[in-house]
Structure 1
Amino acid sequence: MRRFTRTLAAVALAVTAVAGTVGWASGGTQRAVTGPPPGSSSWRADGVLGRELPDPARTDPEQVRAFFSGLSASEQQELLERHPLVVGNLDGVPLELRYHANARALRASHDPRHARLAAPGRRILAFDPRGRGQVAEVFGDLRSARHVSVVVPGSDIDAGTFDRRVDVYGTPAGMAKSLYAETGPGNAVIAWAGYTTPVGVGLDAATGGLAEAGAGRLTRFTEGLAADGLPSPVVFCHSYGSVVCGLAASDLGATDLVVLGSPGMRADDVAGLRTGARVWAAKDDTDWIDDVPHMRVAGLGHGADPADEAFGAHRVPAQDAKGHTGYFAPGTDSLRAFAAIAEGDSR
């Protein structure tokens, strides 16, 4: 009976959208930020080194790494000072240069949403001020880490809410910091808010457009980690972020893919993700996501529930988690399980 009710709800949602009477939607439609980093036009036109700089739109992360490895320290510094937003956001650029470039860009920002991000000591691996703003931050020493995790958030996350002080464990910074604290030495965790997320509950959250744009950005980001010689990551995907991860799964190069509070991954089962990574799923009994129809009808919805046994994912215990954003809360069984997966100790 419950499944029949959900089917009716999904059909009603699709009919409403097709009819153009989307009164149920409370979120504004977002325009995805895509393409090369801001400032790329000036970068391409710059002849300061007496040679052509790699085109951010056409050069893959491994080629970017090779280019920067052939530069002297003074040449690298010159490019950082002239083009901090390109150097800070270009996957394949050495970590240390990106940290310095983004710190410089944040100090130059006059947007009050960025003030906390500019605090000394933060390791900001990406900072793109376009749109609502995109950020990636590292917790731990990424260069020496034996295990690397990436946290991909869901809706309502941007530069202003990346590390908000309410509902902390629903933010990428809060989730990543908690996971880092739970893991042992030799681990690093990246909070990656590198795509345009949906706002509220609306068409963006019910459809895959923003996830498709985000999947391409996430794939390139993990390619950049690989180009810099870092270990293959464990990727944790919360809520709408699991839609992003589902679409990117086959190209992430991840050892493990962990979804929590997922509305679906746009796949019928683990085989449909076409990934060699182990796939894990967590959903607690009080998570409202359980009331979302796990179907796809007329382009709406994200498909099967990864936490259902039929999907084929390993189930992560989540009895202690509360609500949609409690999975990374300290002391929970889900956080302990996440830490074991991050450290490669899970069975």
Structure 2
Amino acid sequence: MRRYARTLVTVALTVTVVSGTAGWVAGNAQQAVTGPPPGTASWRADHTLGRELPDPERDSPAAVARFFAGLTDAEQQALALRHPLVVGNLDGAPVELRYRANARALKASHDPRYAHLAKDPARRILAFDPRGRGQVAEAFGDLATAGRVSVIVPGSDIDAGTFDRTTDVYGTPAGMARSLYARTGPGTAVIAWAGYTTPVGLGLDAARGTLAEAGSVRLTRFTDGLAAAGTPVTAVFCHSYGSVVCGLAAPRLHAADLVVLGSPGMRADDVADLRTGARVWAAKDPGDWIANVPHVEFAGLGHGADPASPGFGARRVPAGDAEGHTGYFAPGTESLRAFTAIAKGAYA
């Protein structure tokens, strides 16, 4: 009877979403940005080194790292100068080289949407893809010396333009990363990763897993690239729809800790269903509107069980004072203190 009731609720939810948002979604549906970075055709045609360059689409991050390890500094710089958008987004390439390549790509961009990212040359922009609404990743801290590295994966409505907006700061990847790094400090680094096409609003894209599936592939390759370049990720923090991305990526992520906050579900019934060796943590503020989202999955809509429910099996992160859906990284909160301990590997 309980399963029958859940099915009826889900069907009702499906009908409501489809009938109530179909017209709205038609103008807001997102097409996932996938494939190799812009400029790949020129990169593939470049034989100035007397050999083929690693293929951004087919070669693994480990193969990319081996290729760059065999180059002189001058050869690396020359590639970054000729192909900034490829080198800046090439998983497995040295991180310092990616910073320089992305700084050059941003400086050369005439799109006003990205002007704010280019203002400060000291920013460590680890990825910049101008396609679609724009994707970007930024490092806080020194990846070369960090003993522990965390990645923040955001949810809906995040792109290069909203990556570090000044309103609702702790709902942005840059704001969350800055807040966490301010607590973890030297010896650690935090990466704000807006490296996938996120849903816009609460339409069908947010209820489906299509964008999350594409994002999970990009997230896995990104973290594999950091590991290949000598900076393995130790913790991944996944906010809202970002937790759907992380749930789908979980079997392939090599982080020690996987933390979800304000999650609509991870496309899994429980921790065992994630097929991960990571410790799984979940936080949900009692005042978070995500609690009103039915934690079911039917006909491709919905994202399944609540990771913060006792039956899911995740370790619970205290979040009683997080103040809504975007307050989990706000200074002074229980959740930020717990996230800091997880990021530093110092939890009880």
TM-score (norm 1): 0.96
Cα deviation code 1:141-181 (max 9, x no counterpart): 11100110000000000000000000000000000000000
Q: In the aligned structure 2, how far is the partner of 1:7 from the partner of 1:323?
A: 28
The alignment yields a C-alpha RMSD, in angstroms, of 1.9
Distance 1:92 1:241, change over 3 A: same
Structure 2: tracts of 5 or more residues without a match: none
Identity among equivalent positions (%) equals: 75
- Report the alpha carbon displacement of residue 232 of structure 1 after superposing the two structures with TM: 3.5
Q: In the aligned structure 2, how far is the partner of 1:128 from the partner of 1:52?
A: 23
In the alignment, does 2:41 pair up with 1:44? Answer: no
Q: In the aligned structure 2, how far is the partner of 1:114 from the partner of 1:142?
A: 24
Q: In the aligned structure 1, how far is the partner of 2:108 from the partner of 2:299?
A: 45
Equivalent AA in structure 2 for residue 300 of structure 1 = L
Q: Which moved more, 1:10-19 or 1:46-55?
A: 10-19
Equivalent AA in structure 2 for residue 172 of structure 1 = P
Given that residues 27 and 199 in structure 1 are in contact (C-alpha distance below 8 angstroms), is that contact kept between their aligned partners in structure 2? no
In the alignment, does 2:222 pair up with 1:195? Answer: no
Cα deviation code 1:157-206 (max 9, x no counterpart): 00000000000000000000000001132110000000000000111000
Q: In the aligned structure 2, how far is the partner of 1:198 from the partner of 1:141?
A: 31
Given that residues 80 and 101 in structure 1 are in contact (C-alpha distance below 8 angstroms), is that contact kept between their aligned partners in structure 2? yes
State the partner residue of 1:262: 263
State the partner residue of 2:306: 305
Q: In the aligned structure 2, how far is the partner of 1:19 from the partner of 1:181?
A: 45
Q: In the aligned structure 2, how far is the partner of 1:275 from the partner of 1:116?
A: 38
Counterparts of 1:1-347 in structure 2, within 5 Å, are 8-16=8-16, 22=22, 25=25, 28-118=28-118, 119-347=120-348
Distance 1:332 1:18, change over 3 A: closer
SS, match of residue 190 in structure 1: strand
Distance 1:166 1:20, change over 3 A: closer
Given that residues 21 and 204 in structure 2 are in contact (C-alpha distance below 8 angstroms), is that contact kept between their aligned partners in structure 1? no
Given that residues 26 and 200 in structure 1 are in contact (C-alpha distance below 8 angstroms), is that contact kept between their aligned partners in structure 2? no
Cα deviation code 1:245-274 (max 9, x no counterpart): 000001110100000000000000000000
SS, match of residue 280 in structure 1: strand
Distance 1:51 1:206, change over 3 A: same
Aligned length: 346
Equivalent AA in structure 2 for residue 207 of structure 1 = R
Distance 1:105 1:344, change over 3 A: same
- Report the alpha carbon displacement of residue 22 of structure 1 after superposing the two structures with TM: 2.7
Distance 1:179 1:26, change over 3 A: farther
Given that residues 233 and 256 in structure 1 are in contact (C-alpha distance below 8 angstroms), is that contact kept between their aligned partners in structure 2? yes
Q: In the aligned structure 1, how far is the partner of 2:330 from the partner of 2:285?
A: 13
Distance 1:284 1:7, change over 3 A: farther
Distance 1:193 1:334, change over 3 A: same
Structure 1: tracts of 5 or more residues without a match: none
Distance 1:20 1:199, change over 3 A: closer
TM-score (norm 2): 0.96
- Report the alpha carbon displacement of residue 6 of structure 1 after superposing the two structures with TM: 7.3
Q: In the aligned structure 1, how far is the partner of 2:45 from the partner of 2:298?
A: 47
- Report the alpha carbon displacement of residue 10 of structure 1 after superposing the two structures with TM: 2.7
